[in-house]
Structure formats: structure tokens, C-alpha cells
Structure 1
Amino acid sequence: MFEDARVYLSIYIITFLIGFPDALLAFCCCIRKIRSKPIPIDIFMLNLVISDLIFLIFLPLKMKEAADNMIWKMPYILCPIHLFTFFLPIYSSCLFLAGISAERYVCVAFPVKYRSPRRITFTILISVAMWMLVIGIAAMSYKAVYIDFEAENITDPQSCHSNFINRQLKDLLTMRLIAAVFYFCIPLIICCFCYINAIRILLKLPLIGRHRKLRSIGLALGTLLVFAICFAPYNVSHIVGYIMYEDPKWRLKVLMLTTLNTCFDLIIFYCISWEMRRAFVVCVESFYHFYDCLNQFCCCFNESAQSNNAQM
């Protein structure tokens, strides 16, 4: 377990260092775009960014758990808060990725209807409904594990969300199966349908620029990459656990992969937002400029040191 905990901690740290600056940058770009001239896809993108930020802000709790060799040494009241903020973004991300794919398809297939001002209000209502659905499944899981059995003091204080008795496991496995079907499988089907049809339509339009077609393909591939690497193994563990009526031993390993979601979302932000692409270019140019300045400083310092040594 100790070696696994070190791997978990390394992945969490890398995810935080990469994902948090990118999410903050994407959040600023979304706010700026929505204030100026919003379109429906910007609303879904903003909600996806908020979902990532919720996850990243509370990720240090997961780091502390991994640093303690997967033993919960923090106040136990933080355990349900940590679980809520860790698992909620997993399912909200799937729903908002499906919303982005649907908006992309509508934009390509029905461009006139897509520009209707009422679609912004419609998209906001859909986003609120998605958050309510995600909070609902999280609340039901919390009730099944904690509230219904709180009086029996079943949960191990040295672990967070593990070592369940049969009654707990039965309710929890049912919740996980529902989540796998409605919060992963259905959004994945929606994404595949929308992106396949959107790309097929774009490839038939000669007036659409090559860069726009490539961005659409990149958006589709980035979304499928998130589903395949980050979410698919974890939701497969739900289905396997329900069939085998047990917690798969490899579940914690695939759960770790879900944290990479915030890193891969950078591909989606880059393909959707022109502001994000411009900000990314500025950041890269600033990095290279800083590197050149640092390199020149080191060269000057070495030359000065060699000159002083020669004089001595």
C-alpha cells in the first residue's frame, strides 16, 4: 500500500500543478467571453471549468491522505466534504462534456437556430438541471453510506469511504451502477453521436477553413480521450462491482485516473475558446522569453566567474 500511496501522491501533485493554473486561466477567459458576447457553448465551458476548480481546490485533502499512506489522519468531519468535492466533479464533467458536444453539433447542423438569444437562457437552465442531478446522486450515495448507518458507527475512522458492511455495500453498489449508466454511458453516447455527425457535416462544407475542421476533430478526440482514460476504467469498476457484489481491489487505482481529467480538459478549452488559444500562446512566449533571459544571465555569470578566475 505504501508504494501505491506514493504513486497516488505523485499523480495528485502533477495534476494540481498542471490543472489548477490551466483551470484559472480558462475561468478568466470564460468570464471575459460571457461578459462581452456569450454563446451557449460558453455556458457549458464555464460550468466545466467550475467543476474542475471545485475538484482542484479540495485535491490537497487527497494529497494529505496519500501522504499518510492512505490512512485518514485529518478530522473525520472533512471526510464527507472531501468525498463530495472529489466525486461530484467526476459526474458533472461527463454531463457538461455531453452538453458541449450537443452545442457543437447544433452549431454545425442548425446554425440559424443556434444564434437565437433564447438559447442562452435555455442553456443556463440545462446547466442548473445538470448540477441538481449530480448533487442528487452524490446526496443519495452519502445518505446510503453515512446517514443510514451513522448510529451504528460502522465507518472505520482510519479510512475514508471504505470497509463497508453488506447493507452499506448493497445500497452503494446500486448507486454506483446508476451513476455509471446515467452519468457516464449516456453522456458518452451523446458525445459520440454529436461529434461524429458534426465532423461529418464539416468535412462536406468546402467553405469551412482547415483550421476550424482540425479544431473540431481535436475537440472530439480530446473529449473521447477524457472518457476513455479518465472515466471509463472507473465506471467499469462500478459495473464489475455490482455484478461481483464487492468492491474491486483495483478500484482505487482506476479512481486515481479520474484526477487526470483536469489536465486533459486543457485540450477541450484550447479547441473551443479563441481567448484560451491566445492566452496559451502568450504564456508559451512568456515562458520562452523567461528561459532566454535566464540562459543569458547564466552565460554572463559564467563568463564573469571565468574572468575573475583568470585574473586570480
Structure 2
Amino acid sequence: MLLFRIRSVCTAVLYTNLAASDLLFCIMLPFKIAYHINGNNWIFGETMCRAATAVFYGNMYCSILLLTCISVSRYVAIVHPFTYKSLPKRAYAIAACAAVWAVVFLYMLPLAIMQQSYYVKQLGIYTCHDVHSACEAVSSFQFYYYVSLAVFGSLMPLATIVFCYVSIIRTLKTHEWFWYVKVSLLILTIFAICFVPSNVILIIHHVNYYYHNTDGLYSFYLIALCLSSLNSCLDPFLYFLMSKIRSQSNIYLTMVKISREK
């Protein structure tokens, strides 16, 4: 569909990168499935645990940042159409995607470097990114790392996306809202179900554990992480809606041009 339905190179570049992130996540998913089926016993070794953890979180934040780039692109195209038309869109899209992958890679390095699997003697199993109690204590670096990951990787992009689509809907006339309302609702649904719960609980969990050494929210956090994987299922619907919205954008730009010439 990216090859044959989406004519915009800029849009195709952004969605191809989003699809690549989802594909990488799906390649690692069988290991997570085997882990949980095996009673949360990790049998694939420390290196594979680090890789699976980094890819799991990397997919989440890569998807968030790419959805933000897509929203900003739509915002400029609709709210500032003539500025958008004069921009080197392909170069900007490639640069944005390269920046997203670079930021995500750097942010995932600590997960790839720090130990992730621990042996739980009472249960006779190896856990993978599931316990803090096996460690002595959460360091200041880990605390600020996870909190900044949630704030800069989720909450700030969400605020940006809300601003973009509110501006788009305010700019368009009532009869032109239809597809953009659908897209904005879908993206907000992806955030509400997949990203916001896990990142809010991530902040609360690490604040509680760092200051009070309590771990009561961790089971809820694991459930929220499971929900976060649903973004890979919802992204294809986004591709479909954006392929439809492309023709609507062209019509809108033509109408704006004609009205300004008059």
C-alpha cells in the first residue's frame, strides 16, 4: 500500500519507517511470547534479553516520535499550505526519520548496556526486565532516565499532536473535517490505549520505588506494556486513512489557491 496507494514521497518515507519499526518489534515478539508462556522464565540469555527490551521500548518511542512527525507534516500542509509547498519535503522527511532513529538508538543504549535478566532463587527462574528487587537499589541515573523517557518520549509528543490536529480542524471548514477528525481520533486512541497508560504508570512507579522503595504498581505497569504493543495493530488503519486523506489535501490546496487568486 505504501508503494501503490500513497503518492506523496514525504508521507511514504514517514510511514515506511513506522512500518519498519513495527516489523522489528514483530520479529522480537515471539521471544516475549515464549517468555510469558514459559512462566516468565527467560531461557535465551542476557544478550537476547537486552536486545528484546531495547527493541520493545524502542518500538514504542520510535512510533510516538514518527506519529508526531506525521502530525507536524499534516499541520504545516494544511495550516501553512504555501510554506509546505515550497519546502524540500523529501529531504526534510528523510532528515526527520534519521533524527528519530538516532534519538531512539541513543535513548535505548542504557537498556542495552545495563543488566536486564536476573535469577529469582525463590521461584527458580530467570526474569527479563521484570524485577527491581534483584538489584540493590535504583540509581539516580535510572530514575531520571525512565522519567525523562516518559516525559520527553510520550507526554510532550502527545501535546504536540493535540496542538497540530486542533489547529488543522480549526483551519478547515466544517465539511472538510471528516477525514482529519478520523485521523486525529485514531492517533489519540493509539496514544490513549497504547502509550499514555504505560508512560504515566512508568513515572509513578519509578517515583514510588525511588523515594519509598515500594513496587505496588509494577503488575499494572506490565499490563500497560502489553497494551502498548497494540500500536503495531492500529498503525495499518492509519496508513489506510492517510492514503484517503491525501486526495482531500490536494483538493483543499487547490481551493485555497483559487480563493487567494480571486
- Post-superposition offset of 1:168: 4.3
**Match for residue 127 of structure 2?**
159
**Match for residue 230 of structure 1?**
194
**Match for residue 52 of structure 1?**
22
**Match for residue 271 of structure 1?**
241
Matches within 5 A, 1:1-312: 29-32=1-4, 37-116=7-86, 118-143=88-113, 145-146=114-115, 155-156=118-119, 158-164=126-132, 165-168=135-138, 170-203=140-173, 210=175, 213-245=177-209, 246-247=214-215, 248-249=217-218, 250-274=220-244
Structure 2's unaligned 5+ residue stretches are: 120-124, 247-262
- Post-superposition offset of 1:38: 3.2
Structure 1 residues 66, 155: closer, same or farther in 2, change over 3 A?
closer
- Give 2:229's aligned amino acid: T
Partner Cα separation in structure 1 for residue 131 and residue 27 of structure 2 = 27
- Post-superposition offset of 1:58: 1.4
Partner Cα separation in structure 2 for residue 199 and residue 84 of structure 1 = 36
- TM normalised by structure 2 equals 0.81
2:127 match: secondary structure: coil
- Post-superposition offset of 1:193: 0.1
Conserved 8 A contact 1:219-1:267: no
Partner Cα separation in structure 2 for residue 252 and residue 258 of structure 1 = 10
Structure 1 residues 134, 254: closer, same or farther in 2, change over 3 A?
same
Conserved 8 A contact 1:173-1:241: no
Structure with greater proportional helix content? 1
Partner Cα separation in structure 1 for residue 30 and residue 110 of structure 2 = 25
Partner Cα separation in structure 1 for residue 136 and residue 179 of structure 2 = 48
Two-structure CA RMSD over aligned residues (Å): 2.3
Partner Cα separation in structure 1 for residue 69 and residue 229 of structure 2 = 21
2:229 match: secondary structure: helix
Structure number with greater Rg is: 1
Aligned residues: 233
- TM normalised by structure 1 equals 0.69
Conserved 8 A contact 1:230-1:261: yes
Structure 1's unaligned 5+ residue stretches are: 1-28, 205-209, 277-312
